[in-house]
Amino acid sequence: MSSRLHQDDISYSEVHTLHESPTTHPNPHPSPMSSNVPPLPNTRLTAFISGPIEYPYGYFEEHYRPLLTEAIEKGHSFVMGPASGTDSTALRYLIDQGVDLSKITVYMSQLDERVLGKAMQWFTDLGGDIQLEGVTTGDRDAAMTRDSDYDILRYMSIQEQQEFYGERYYPRVSATEKNERRRKGLPLHVNHGLVGYEFKAKEAVQSSSNPSTTWADSRIKKFLRQISNTV
């Protein structure tokens, strides 16, 4: 296990991303529901795979498998986190497709190591490489952006989130979207629907001791506190 010390997953627009670097995109602000997919040269590039922990049926097969297959065919390498959902599904897919373990690295923060270390033992037993990076998942994701050439990611549109999560939906910037924004050199925090939720969030704060407070209210309250100094 190598070590070099150097966040939640769904968000604003529907995006398939294979970005090589911010400098290759003169306009870093594509419109919602856009796609910027440059052709991949047949060189040894490294893809950073990220995506939601929870997603609808068929989501991975539709949005990730074709891009992963293309990258495998081009001989690319891969980095990803240790989370369930997209991370773990992608890792299993790469191994099932016969990708050499030398081309796959799972990055873990100190927090990940404490919580998910045992769950990743199967990968290290196969001979897979675990890279320790930083203290938080944000540190870890920043390191994967640094050490890769492009992203394979997708995050749900607001409408998709609302349909999938129901009452659990609340506006936020997911870790997946942050990965895209980090690659483009954009601020990681952006207001995704705070207007219209602010009053509801204030109500949630006031009623936090009320047993009838819903799960969504509590998450909205947390969201409001998190972005109060960043948006």
The answer to whether residue 133 scores a pLDDT higher than 50 is yes
DSSP H or E segment with residue 49: strand 46-50
d(CA 126, CA 94): 13
User: 137-173 pLDDT, tens per residue?
Assistant: 999 999 999 999 999 999 999 899 999 999 999 888 9
* Own/partner pairs, 211-215, CB within 8 angstroms, 24+ separation: 214/167, 215/167, 215/168
Contact (CB, 8 A) for 140 and 108: yes
Handedness of CA 82, 34, 192, 145 (dihedral sign): positive
Q: What mean pLDDT comes out for the span 33-61?
A: 77
Closest by Cα among 205, 230, 209, 206 to 219? 205
Its CATH class, for the domain covering 46-156, is alpha beta
Q: What is the pTM of this model?
A: 0.69
